[in-house]
Amino acid sequence: MNRMEHLNARAYAKRHAEASQAVAHVLHAAQSQGFDLTVIGSFARGDFRAHSDVDLLARGAHDRKSRIVIERLVAESMRPFAMPYDLIFEDDLTEDRLREFLNDGL
């Protein structure tokens, strides 16, 4: 492994560890508030990279008020880790798109 590959591997390992902590934190926070979040995307598939973000799916139907609560909870949970994320609400998706997202973690 050359020097650049070594540096890239270290950056990836650090970023993956930070993402793992952020995911654990946000999932715990959501569960404690009674919300069901699922990790989707590259982190769920196992192809997360040094510049990836974390994709989260808010399961179930949510009214405007609960969406605001979830958005705030996720933002506050992810902020300490400086981890970029995407938050997607299940009730905004077609059945096909939802199935595609849920297959990410398989």
Euclidean distance between CA atoms 48 and 60, whole angstroms: 26
Give the per-residue pLDDT at 2: 87
Tell me, what CATH number does 69's domain have? 3.30.460.10
Compute, in degrees rounded to 10, the torsion defined by CA atoms 25, 30, 34, 37. -120
pLDDT tens for residues 42-92?
999 999 988 899 999 999 999 999 999 999 999 999 999 999 999 999 999
Q: Quote the percentage of the chain above a pLDDT of 90.
A: 73
- Decide: 29 and 92 in contact? Cβ < 8 Å: no
Range of the domain at 41: 3-103
CA dist 15 and 4 (Å) reads 16
Helix (H) or strand (E) holding 1: none
Task: Show Cβ contacts of residue 18 under 8 Å, excluding neighbours closer than 6 positions.
Answer: 81, 82, 83
pTM of structure: 0.89
Number of domains in the chain: 1
